[in-house]
Structure 1
Amino acid sequence: MRSLSFRVTGLVSAMVVLGGCERQEKAPAPAPAPVKASAPAPAPSSRSSTEGELRERLRCEALLGFSGLMAAQQEFFGEKNVWTADVTRLPSPAACTDGSRVPTLDGTWLAGCHFRYAVSVTGSHPDNSTFSVRAVGVGGLAEGLTYAMTHGYADGKPVRVWPSELVLEDCHGVRRPEGTPLPAPLCEGASNLKGFFTAQKAYFGEKDRYSESAAQVGFAPEPCLDGSRAPVPDDTWTAGCRFIYRAEVSGTAPEQTFRLTARGMKGPVVEQKLMLDSEYTWSPADPGCAP
């Protein structure tokens, strides 16, 4: 079975919703305040900024919907060596907080809160096939919004096409759309270190030694959603999205130890560093992120 070049780390941690997640795409107009004849003209309405926040929440909802479907497709590919266009094999994106969903056209669509999603597959050979997801907004401010993403392989090389409007960093902090919550940025490094640790231990179980080569032990961190990766200073590092990773091995096999390092390279994690050794000792302390 083909091993995946991309791995998906779980999207975890609690999120607080901006004004709730009900399907209320349009903000209510503020009541006009009485104005005296001698008073200056009232300040312009803040409606545009409120609608901007709501539109940002919609973009984040679509991003989370795509991310969840991509994770499910990668899990299916890991088992079957093919992508699937059968939406019954894929999880439905999150509903609104009141449990409602947009209507679907037929059984080939998945329904979320403000978007419905269609899935298609091109090609059949594992090294030359992709899947695509199209998100179509329904009702209110979502009406007319359409996003599309593609992921897979072309001639054995990873391919990912991602909408430039859907930016992961914009969906952290106080922007809390419907869907699986996003983890704190530091959790990318922590979760990948745990995966690197597991890969080293599995490799030792087979070879009675550790390795400083991430590829050799089967550690392949996931890139950013748009397919980009953090820059690496040299080939001793392996790049993920915002972090880069390195293994240092000491001793002579089989009496060896290792130390793994995750170093933040961009965005909110620049210059942050996490380390995990072969005794599962964290430096600094375990940040507590889920696997």
Structure 2
Amino acid sequence: MPKDRYAIATEQPNPHTRGLDRLSALQIARKINAEDFNAARAVKKASKPLAQAIRTATQAFMGGHKIIFMGAGTSGRLGVLEAAECVPTFGVKPTQIIGLIAGGKNAMFRAKEGAEDNAALGAQDIRQQARAHDFVIGLTASGITPYVLGGLEAARQLGARTALITCNEQADFSHADIALFLPTGPEALCGSTRMKAGTATKMALNIISTGAMALCGKMYGNLMVDVKPTNKKLVARATRLIAQIAGVDPQTAGQYLAQSGNQVKVAIVMLKKQLDRPHAARLLKKANGFLAEALDEN
């Protein structure tokens, strides 16, 4: 790991965006967008450790353990966002997939950059939240954020599995079971890791959470069948899913959604198998929540 953080790739001036302040609005848009493509390329190069992270997250979740994202600044906000979005998308408990950000909840809305330098704070946050067999994913573009590294060290001591997502190849991976290096290179705006590094990190988190939830039975094909219908948009989505999969009209789908207690998978099994709610729920439980297996059951 470089002693000087300014030797890190994300802190280097980008030769492709020199003179950014002298370009037109259209030229700026094109320059930044051209750099953004490197984020997707970086994530593609990390497909094998991403698959490893998906498997580890699946094992943790299926075992009733936590998946924890932790970071500071932009990285921390991305982790909190990912955790929050998993609740309505996959119907998970907010206590099983969580995000930790240096400085706490207030840091989501106002930068508390000094908090990232506190390794003891990271360890403290992890000791309050993590247990053995949880999966703790550290997020730090630079790879040297003390808050994150302190948290990962504490997680290992507790017996949790760990991963580190970073854009620095020379990051400190000593406390990470899985090393996820995303080679995004210098930012369009030197050092502003909310740009390519943040985009690549968000993409990696999407892959890990969505991949794990697929392996945990939280979808049917590519359909969001564990969605929580907590507002009008999501009720409409749930109704469409039931109608599409069960082959019924929207009115019937809506009726069964209500009868199922707003559980999309239960409603589908009720319709496809001609079962009442308790029997449909038991069939799903027998299939460990996998809708395809429940529907194939004779």
**TM-score normalized with structure 1 length:** 0.27
Higher RCO (Cα < 8 Å, 6 or more apart) = 2
TM-score using structure 2 length: 0.27
When Rg is computed on C-alpha atoms for both structures, the one with the higher figure is 1
| Structure with greater proportional strand content | 1
